[in-house]
Structure 1
Amino acid sequence: MPLNAGDTGYGSVPSPRLQGAAGGSEAAPLLIPEPEPESGRQWEPMSRRELEVIAGGPGWRKVRCYLVLLFWLTWVSMLAVSIAIITISPRPVVTPLRWWQKSLFYQLEPELLLEARGSEGISAVCEQLPFLRSLGVGALILEGLFKREASPLNLTAVGRNLDTETQIQHLLLDSNKAGVKVVLDFCELDLSGHQDATRNSHEPSNFSASHALRYWLEKGVAGFAICDTDAAYSEKTLLEWRGIFREFSTEEEERIMVVKQTADVLRPLNNSGQINATMVDVVMRSILPYSHHILSTQEVADAVQKHLQTPEGDVWPIWTVGGKASHDLKKLLMVLMMTLPGSPAVHEQINQTQDKRSSAALFTSLSRSRSREEALLYGSFTFLPFNTSSTSNSTFSSPSSPPVLAFLRSWGCVHFLVLLNIGPEVHPLDPNWASNLPEAGVFVTSTGMDRLGSTSLYTLQLQPHEAIVIKLFKEGSYS
């Protein structure tokens, strides 16, 4: 039988998978080649006209320009409105303060030190100048240097012996080195300057007083103090003295005139029916009325409340205690002086007893708070009366007990609350009192120096004869 049996032989049987394939034999390729791509148009970037057509045509460009312009106009308008709101909104105005407005005054009587300690009295003051400066004292008021019967002819000779003048000059030199200014007290002295027969009639009647002022200004004195009852408290004399001050004054070393107020209201100038505030730089006021006996608690409360309710005038005040108060109220009055608008003047003998050290610690705490807090230095003052008609949780423990006095010192959004419990009983605060104040606060200082950390006005209780300074803040934030 022949091996090749024609076209349909054994070797030519087509496979089912390769039916219709070319050749249909075992020699056919196993992989089918991909078809050749059809010849067509190559890829090309779109032209500008085509892009404009797809983007919406030439009008779309104008729309985009308008949108960008609208965005910038809106942004500029919002910026302008923000600036206008900041400009129109009320805000505290910073008033540049003079050196006497920022200083703490310390009243000193060198004659008493000389009588008590001899020639070492002035030396003791010189040694204590760095300590006083560390407490924040910026100026000394030297009292009692001149006798009350002294005339302008002997204002350059102080004390009862020849060594006193030299010691005072030494004190002036040391105080200037320590950065403590000195003010001489001429209160209750005869400064009218009776004209000498040897002088010409056209010379001023107070030529000797002017000579004495120049003498002490050359020694480095920063100012002088007189009483509102003195003959020198007149427009003519003060104008002449201010002319002398201008000769020795600079922007940083300006000389001042202090007037001690002897009554509840500052007297008008002699031979004048009005008070000229431009003649006087500082008015020294007393919180308590002068008396020979220790004032009662109610008398102290009435005097303090009177000052808190009466707004001060245009002249910058220096606060002193003035009258006599009990030992328990001395620290409370110190807190009051240091937190009232104006400058405090402490009248203490230099001593290192335990009580003096405690008072110095309180004074230092208040001085540092006053120097770094604008609200305590030149902030606004608001008296906060208590609701005396309240029957529940009343701030009065008894009808005869003095009320708790309070006031607010504010600068912008910073508020300092000062609470004064002049009475001898414990006083809890009424939650309904001053409901618009922030509830939370942090203790700044207190008369007992034992108040620390944060507190709530709703749970605060004032101890007898206690004064507290609290910095208020909104709950959950610290200002």
Structure 2
Amino acid sequence: MEQSDKEAADEPDRMPLNAGGAGYGSVARSGVSGRVGDSESGPLLIPETEPEPFQQWRPMTKDELQVAAGGPGWRKVRRYLVLLFWLTWMAMLATSIAIVMLSPRPVATPLKWWQKSLFYQLQAEGSGGVNALCEQLPYLRSLGIRALILEGLFDKKASPLNLNATGERFGTLPQILHVLAESNKADLKVVFNVCGVDLLGAQGVAGDAGDTSNLTAHHALRFWLEQGVAGFAICDTDAAYSEKTLLEWKGVFKEFSSEDEERIVVVKQTGDILPPLKNSSQRNVTLVDMVMRSILPTSQHLLSPEEVADAIETHLQTREEDIWPSWTVGGNASHDLKKLLLVLMMTLPGSPAVQYDEDIDPRQNVSLKVGSSHGDANKPSATRTEQEKKKAVALFTSLSHSRAREEALQFGSFTFLPFNTSTNSSSSSNSTLPSPSSPPILAFLRSWGCVQFLVLLNVGPEVHSLDPAWAPSLPKAGVFVTNTRLDRLGSTTLDTLEVRPREAIVIKLFETGSYS
């Protein structure tokens, strides 16, 4: 005890390490407490948290995927995606409709039935011809023909519309009425060609075979209109071609006309220009519905390629907007040029009036022919093969159906194209150097909206290729619609196109990489 007290006295200044909470030896706010018990039991270093063991990625099994896909989270995501899809689709549809509605587009011109029709001119000789014609009416309708122009119905030396004085070559009154009835069944309209008949002479018209009462010309018109005749065709040299007569006719026609069954007056132009109406103080367009014009001048000999080219170019460069034309060949040309002229008639603005063609007649032993004064020009050729006749029918059908379904060929705008051409004399082993008078390619464009049809006509005997510098505003690519040889199919480029002798080509143009 004494020793202990002595040791304490020998160390008076020594202080305990744990004296006081804030004394020397204490570590404030540390993980080691200042108390002896705590300092001895607490660790000197705080150990780090050991990382969790690494789990290697592996794809989900089919069962796990089905469980996860059916969860509420995925169902919510799918609902949002479906909603986003339909909203986007509706926005695109609304934008497309707005673009279509706001884009400028051409206004379709309402056409009368004769402005949309393909006319077919013919006359039948005797009762056999009338019966054969009635049998062929459905076939003619299948070719795209919509109206007939019957010629030689009335004897020009007798009373004009005397029902007992019908033309001896065509048939009797019952036969004519039978043709009208059968035409109505075949949905074909009939126009009577009374060109050259003295319509203003003595009007001895009989209402039936036993009636001899005298009736006026108006009563005769009413009789035929009641039978379903769609109209009458006269010449510009007839006495009936006058304002007074046509006004009277129009008054009668109104009684039998409706919106779809309007009766018409057709005037056949015999000269280069249509003469003004006799005693007329008004424009003749109000009295004449359609003017029938010949592309070629009347000639007893075969016209040369130069004459044909000049006649075509004259008509292409001369247009009258206030007269609805009806085109016919008229003159005498070679067989190859007639096929070219058929393509021209079918693609020009107006209503084509095709003359009787033996190549599209399925029965060659019947007496059907065109009423024409060209004599041998329209006689059937004994050298025509069946293959050539089939091609003629195919060309006719292709043109008529294309014209019926294409708005650009019905009422589209017309543009004459004076193309620069070059002659390719190496394309044929028999070709020679072009002559200075060789006809160039004649071409025109029919347009409606974004649809364009290019018609190329090579009347001359040489092969022509188009100059790459011509018509830079036109598309360079297109697809063949038809041609006179019926051997061009598929797409083409105008820069590489060669037009063969006596060939006509119809091409539907489109921009490269798109189809209009």
Q: Is the 8 A contact 2:194 2:232 kept in 1?
A: yes
Cα drift, residue 162 of structure 1: 11
Letter in 1 for 2:318: T
Q: What is the distance in 2 between the residues matched to 1:355 and 1:172?
A: 32
| Counterparts of 2:170 and 2:415, CA distance in 1 | 51
Map residues 28-177 of structure 1 onto 2, 5 A cutoff. 86=102, 91-111=105-125, 114=126, 119-152=127-160, 154-155=162-163, 157-160=165-168, 164-177=172-185
Does the 8 Å CA contact 2:466/2:498 hold for their aligned counterparts? Answer: yes
The letter of the residue matching 1:270 is: K
**Cα displacement (A) at 1:152:** 3.4
Q: Distance in 2 between matches of 1:400 and 1:411?
A: 35
1:448 is matched by which residue type in structure 2? R
Q: Quick check: 2:124–2:169 contact (8 Å CA) kept in 1?
A: no
- 8 Å Cα contact 1:258-1:280 kept in structure 2: yes
Instruction: Choose from 247, 251, 255 the match for 2:255.
Output: 247
Cα deviation digits, residues 324-359 of structure 1 (max 9, x gap)? 101111110000000000011111145235433322
* Structure 1 gaps, min length 5: 1-16, 29-78, 197-205
Residue 340 (structure 2) aligned to one of 302, 320, 332 = 332
Q: 1:414 matched to which residue of 2?
A: 451
Give 3-state SS (helix, strand or coil) of 1:322's partner: coil
1:278 to 278, 281, 286: 286
Relative to structure 1, the CA distance from residue 84 to residue 250 in structure 2 (aligned partners, 3 Å threshold; closer, same or farther) is closer
Q: Secondary structure at the match of 1:108?
A: strand
Task: Give the distance between the partners of 1:136 and 1:478, measured in 2 at CA.
Answer: 26
Q: Give the match for residue 369 of structure 1.
A: 402
- Give the C-alpha shift of residue 267 in structure 1: 1.1
Query: Could you tell me how far apart the structure 2 residues matched to 1:18 and 1:425 are?
Result: 115
Say whether the 8 Å CA contact 1:155–1:209 is kept in structure 2.
no
Structure 1 counterpart SS, 2:191:
strand
Q: How does 1:312-351 map to 2 (within 5 A)?
A: 312-349=320-357, 351=361
Quickly say closer, same or farther: Cα 1:247–1:460, change in 2 above 3 A.
same
The corresponding residue for 1:359 is 392
Q: Gapped runs of 5+ residues in structure 2?
A: 1-30, 43-94, 205-213, 363-385, 426-432
* TM-score normalised over the length of structure 2: 0.70
| 2:158/2:165 contact within 8 Å kept | no
**Structure 1 residue 92 displacement after superposition:** 2.1
Deviations 1:366-389 (A, max 9, x none): 11111111111100000001337x
Residue 442 of structure 1 aligns with an amino acid whose one-letter code is V
In the superposition, relative to structure 1, how do residues 92 and 122 fare at CA in structure 2: closer, same or farther (>3 Å)? same
Task: Classify 1:21/1:220 alpha carbon distance in 2 versus 1 (closer, same or farther; 3 Å).
Answer: farther
Q: 2: distance between equivalents of 1:21 and 1:125? A: 134
Give per-residue Cα distances to partners, 1:21-77, cap 9 Å, x unaligned.
Answer: 9987xx99xxxxxxxxxxxxxxxxxxxxxxxxxxxxxxxxxxxxxxxxxxxxxxxxx
- Superposition deviation, residue 164 in structure 1: 2.1
Distance 2:466 2:353 in 1: 31
What secondary structure is seen at the aligned counterpart in 2 of 1:212?
helix
Distance 1:426 1:349, change over 3 A: closer
- Contact (CA 8 Å) 2:154, 2:161: kept in 1 or not? no
1:450 equivalenced with 2:483 (yes/no): no
Q: Which residue number in structure 2 is paired with residue 291 of structure 1?
A: 299
**1:408 aligned counterpart, secondary structure:** strand
Q: Which moved more, 1:206-215 or 1:143-152?
A: 206-215
Taking only aligned residues, the RMSD between alpha carbons, in angstroms, comes to 3.0
Q: Partner residue of 1:39?
A: none
1:172-321 to 2 correspondence within 5 Å?
172-194=180-202, 208-272=216-280, 275-321=283-329
Q: Aligned residue for 1:478? A: 515
Counterpart AA for 1:130: P
CA contact (8 A) 2:477 2:492 kept: yes
- The alpha carbon displacement at 1:83 in A equals 8.7
The one-letter amino acid of 1:356's match is: K
Q: Aligned AA for 1:136? A: G
Distance of 1:453 and 1:392 partners within structure 2: 23
Aligned-pair identity in percent equals: 68
- C-alpha contact (below 8 Å) 1:235/1:270 kept by paired residues: yes
Deviation of the 1:18 alpha carbon: 9.3
Distance, in Å, in 2 between the alignment partners of 1:86 and 1:398 is 53
Shift of 1:304: 0.3
Q: Contact conserved, 1:102 with 1:343, CA < 8 A, in 2?
A: yes
The reply to whether residue 439 of structure 1 matches residue 476 of structure 2 is yes
Note if contact 2:420-2:466 (Cα within 8 Å) is conserved in structure 1.
Answer: no
Offset at 1:276?
1.7
How many equivalent residue pairs?
A: 392
Partner Cα separation in structure 2 for residue 164 and residue 195 of structure 1: 19
Deviates most, 216-225 or 341-350: 341-350
Work out the CA distance in 1 between the residues paired with 2:423 and 2:301.
36
In 2 relative to 1, CA 288–273 (structure 1 residues): closer, same or farther, beyond 3 Å?
Answer: farther
Match of 1:379 among 412, 416, 437: 412
Structure-2 residue corresponding to 1:464: 501
Deviates most, 302-311 or 120-129: 120-129
What CA distance in whole angstroms lies between the structure 2 residues aligned with 1:146 and 1:229? 18
TM-score (norm 1): 0.76
CA distance in 2, matches of 1:405, 1:360: 25
- Once the two structures are TM-superposed, the CA of residue 441 in structure 1 deviates from its matched residue by 0.8
Alpha-carbon distance between aligned partners in 2 of 1:449 and 1:263, rounded to the nearest angstrom: 34
Secondary structure of the residue aligned to 1:458 is helix
Deviation at 1:150, TM superposition (A): 2.8
Deviation at 1:408, TM superposition (A): 0.4
Bigger radius of gyration among the two: 2
